Structure 1
Amino acid sequence: MTEYATLAGGCFWCTEAVFKDVIGVQSVESGYIGGTVDDPEYRSVCNGDTGHAEAIRVGFDPAQVRYADLLDIFFATHDATQLNRQGNDVGTQYRSAIFPETVEQEEQANQAIARAQADQSKPIVTTIEPFDRWWPAEGYHQDYWETSGRSNPYCLAVIPPKLQKLRKSFAAQVRTQLA
């Protein structure tokens, strides 16, 4: 049975690339969540006009990877101490947030924040927000690293270090060792 983790950790192109390499992950979809506009479009979300976060929805097999493990990977591969930004991406659309779908996921999210905080000197600013309507991003955003990202200078600067951190810190949970 497939379960889902919905996570916002800055640019969805960058977080999508990380989770596609995790054993037990069956799907990763980029999209928008947490805003006030129905059927948001990329330009409006990027401009900060809708209140949505760029996020990913990770379909996973809980027999192969635990939700808690996905949260640990999430915290290890983005800076959860930056409020409403990741690197050069600034605005609430790039916030660090977890959107649990069940009470159990919410409890695990709180535990993951506590684990992440234990490893940080600065405060973790990741929010836990109610899971609301999920809006898939436009088609050209899906599988972006594989289809377009390797020729995008921004992605080339941001994604390989995230993948290296994933492979170093979670080697037993990664499908491949190649960037």
Structure 2
Amino acid sequence: MDKQNNSNLETAILAGGCFWCTEAVFQRLKGVHEIVSGYTGGTIKNPAYREICTGRTGHAEAIKITFDPKEISYQELLEVFFATHDPTTLNRQGNDVGTQYRSEIFYTTPAQKDQAQSFISLLEKEKVFTAPIVTVVSGEKPFYKAEEDHQNYYNEHGSQPYCQFIIDPKIKKLTSKFADKLNTVTK
């Protein structure tokens, strides 16, 4: 990820299950300058991971993406988001169960809200998924950065079983479906 200073950068906030997974996917895209794993959408200020795991804070594990819309559009981010997680399971991604693993888009502009809602409508109309999409589209809420050991997780712990069995297939799907959007720099 390129961390150059650019005033034309935009922010997207996505929750698609475990933030280790979503972070690993989006880190590999051209135009993504920074990703922060964290918590949003809940009621507790400055929550800790152990609190999030209880499911009682209302927060979702999410990522905050800083991206250059000249290199990758918000629409393209949505395409990757919906292709790399299951938006049809309520409060669940695979074996991860609880409201903290929900599928939710936290829009940061009215245009993002419109794009997200339109894209979900298109996916439903085209019957891309066999079950209804349960992804919620909500306005941006306070975002709390997760602890340091949750940042850049897959890149630092790729040999761990969770990474190999859960995240590796998402990365393989990303590289096969979105090869033209991948950053050429190894992460």
**TM-score, normalised via structure 2 length:** 0.91
Deviates more, 1:151-160 or 1:26-35: 151-160
Please state whether the residue corresponding to 1:129 is helix, strand or coil.
strand
| Residue 110 (1) aligns with residue 122 (2) | no
In percent, how many aligned pairs have the same letter? Answer: 51
| Residue 172 (1) aligns with residue 183 (2) | no
Partner of 2:134: 125
Matches within 5 A, 1:19-98: 19-98=26-105
**Cα offset, 1:157, TM superposition:** 0.5
Please state whether the residue corresponding to 1:104 is helix, strand or coil.
helix
In structure 1, how many angstroms separate the alpha carbons of the residues matched to 2:179 and 2:58?
35
**Cα offset, 1:151, TM superposition:** 2.9
Aligned residues: 178
**Cα offset, 1:47, TM superposition:** 1.2
In structure 1, how many angstroms separate the alpha carbons of the residues matched to 2:10 and 2:152?
20
In structure 1, list runs of 5 or more residues that go unmatched. Answer: none
In structure 2, how many angstroms separate the alpha carbons of the residues matched to 1:36 and 1:114?
29
Please state whether the residue corresponding to 1:56 is helix, strand or coil.
strand
**TM-score, normalised via structure 1 length:** 0.95
In structure 2, list runs of 5 or more residues that go unmatched. Answer: 1-7
| 2:164 corresponds to which of 148, 156, 162 | 156
Structure 1 runs, 4 residues or longer, greater than 3 Å off: 176-179
Give the residue type in structure 1 aligned to 2:129: Q
RMSD of equivalent CA atoms: 1.5
| Residues 92-123 of structure 1 deviation map (CA, whole Å, 9 limit, x = unaligned) | 00000000011100001102212332211210
